[in-house]
């Protein structure tokens, strides 16, 4: 290693250390953009994550770029060529964007004062979860060494992002647990569960259903992310339709268009639901309902997804049990109070017991 490369390598190592030391997703993304800009001395950096559809990149963090070009939350559609290349794990190096005639964002980049770019996939295992984009204000030759170092930072960033997402799931479970001890309002807790399931997993929506007293139907008790029209279609459904889940088994439907277990294919299609994961709500090994999440893009749910959703379902079951116990105690208290009042009235004015 040359003497010129040592300080550069030290900077990269420090950047990776700073990125990997963060816990929360927002902090990881901010550190990734900031440390990359500093390490590679570029004009600007954007960190863009794939949305739930897998067809758009959404800006999650940026440095040195204007709001109009790379503002938080801004979405950019992926063209098929770039999507294919990034999905395969290959970088896209543009040493002079004026030569990139087929690049859909070339004019916007030129307007931003950018002349070169290096886009690196953020890979978690076999999956591409986003892109880290480095921009330069002058034409730049990217050497194999440059790309290798950038890959190292991108790989560290991808691992840190996945770890932060796991941390966010832990925080979600903590928030739901805290709610269980701070409120006896069952509906508030159930609404929190379906919202957290949707937002933490980055999906389209979630539903929570409970069995009726006869255990013949399951009724919708909480939902998040769906249209009113869709919810009207299946507010009450037969328990046979979710029999597999009620027997205690997670149900994974990767393709709603071809899976016979989908009870309302047309409604599911109209709502834009591509994949479904359903887990049971259980109290003392007895199913009382189901918790489901839906994705608008085809998705292969992981074991981690199943464990997380099952944990949320367990929290939901505890909330329901606590609420039912509270309601039972409240009724007993009211009945007892009535008995005491009746007894007190009799004590003051004893009822006549014959002649």
CATH assignment of the domain containing 56: 3.30.450.40
Residues 60 and 191 in one domain: no
Residue 178 lies in a domain: no
Do 141 and 240 lie in a common domain? no
Radius of gyration from C-alpha coordinates of the chain: 28
Residue-wise pLDDT for 21-51, tens only, equals 787 888 999 999 999 998 889 999 999 998 8
The closest of 170, 59, 162, 66 to 111, measured between CA atoms, is 66
The answer, as to whether pTM is greater than 0.75, is no
As for how many domains the chain has, the answer is 2
pLDDT at 275: 93
Give per-residue pLDDT as tens, 85-97: 777 788 889 999 9
Give the residue from 97, 101, 36, 39 showing the smallest Cα distance to 65: 36
Q: Is the pLDDT of residue 9 over 90?
A: no
Is residue 65 assigned to a domain? yes
Query: Do 222 and 91 have their domain in common?
Result: no
Residue 268, CA distances (Å) to 206, 232, 293, 294, 295 in order: 13, 12, 13, 10, 11
Torsion of CA 250, 256, 261, 265, to 10 degrees: 140
- Cα–Cα distance, 206 to 194 (Å, whole number): 5
Q: Which domain holds residue 14?
A: 5-164
Query: What is the widest separation between alpha-carbon atoms in the chain?
Result: 117
Average pLDDT, the chain: 84
Interval 303-332: pLDDT, tens: 889 999 998 898 888 878 777 676 667 676
Q: Residue 172 domain-assigned? A: no
């Amino acid at each position: 290693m040359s003497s010129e490369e040592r300080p550069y390598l030290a900077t990269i190592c420090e950047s990776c250390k700073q990125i990997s030391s963060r816990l929360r997703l927002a902090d990881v993304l901010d550190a990734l953009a900031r440390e990359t800009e500093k390490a590679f001395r570029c004009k600007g950096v954007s960190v863009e994550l794939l949305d739930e559809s897998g067809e758009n990149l959404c800006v999650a963090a940026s440095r040195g770029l204007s709001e109009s070009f790379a503002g938080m939350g801004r979405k950019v559609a992926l063209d098929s060529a770039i999507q294919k290349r990034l999905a395969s794990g290959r970088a896209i190096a543009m040493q002079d964007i004026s030569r990139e005639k087929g690049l859909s964002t070339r004019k916007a980049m030129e307007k931003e004062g950018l002349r070169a770019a290096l886009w690196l996939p953020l890979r978690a295992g076999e999956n591409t979860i986003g892109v880290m984009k480095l921009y330069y204000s002058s034409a730049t030759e990217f050497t194999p060494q440059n790309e290798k170092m950038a890959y190292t930072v991108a790989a560290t960033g991808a691992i840190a992002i996945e770890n932060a997402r796991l941390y966010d799931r832990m925080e979600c479970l903590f928030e739901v647990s805290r709610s269980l001890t701070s409120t006896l309002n069952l509906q508030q807790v159930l609404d929190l569960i379906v919202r957290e399931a949707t937002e933490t997993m980055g999906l389209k929506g979630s539903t929570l259903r409970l069995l009726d007293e006869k255990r013949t139907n399951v009724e919708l008790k909480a939902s998040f992310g769906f249209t009113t029209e869709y919810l009207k279609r299946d507010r009450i459904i037969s328990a046979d339709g979710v029999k597999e889940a009620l027997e205690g088994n997670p149900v994974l439907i990767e393709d709603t268009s071809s899976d016979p277990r989908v009870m309302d294919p047309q409604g599911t299609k109209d709502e834009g639901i591509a994949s479904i994961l359903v887990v049971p709500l259980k109290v003392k090994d007895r199913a009382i309902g189901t918790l489901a999440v839906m994705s608008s893009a085809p998705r292969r749910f992981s074991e981690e997804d199943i464990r997380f959703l099952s944990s949320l379902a367990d929290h939901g079951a505890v909330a329901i049990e606590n609420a039912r116990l509270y309601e039972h105690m409240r009724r007993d208290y009211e009945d007892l109070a009535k008995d005491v009042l009746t007894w007190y009235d009799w004590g003051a004015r004893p009822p006549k017991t014959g002649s």
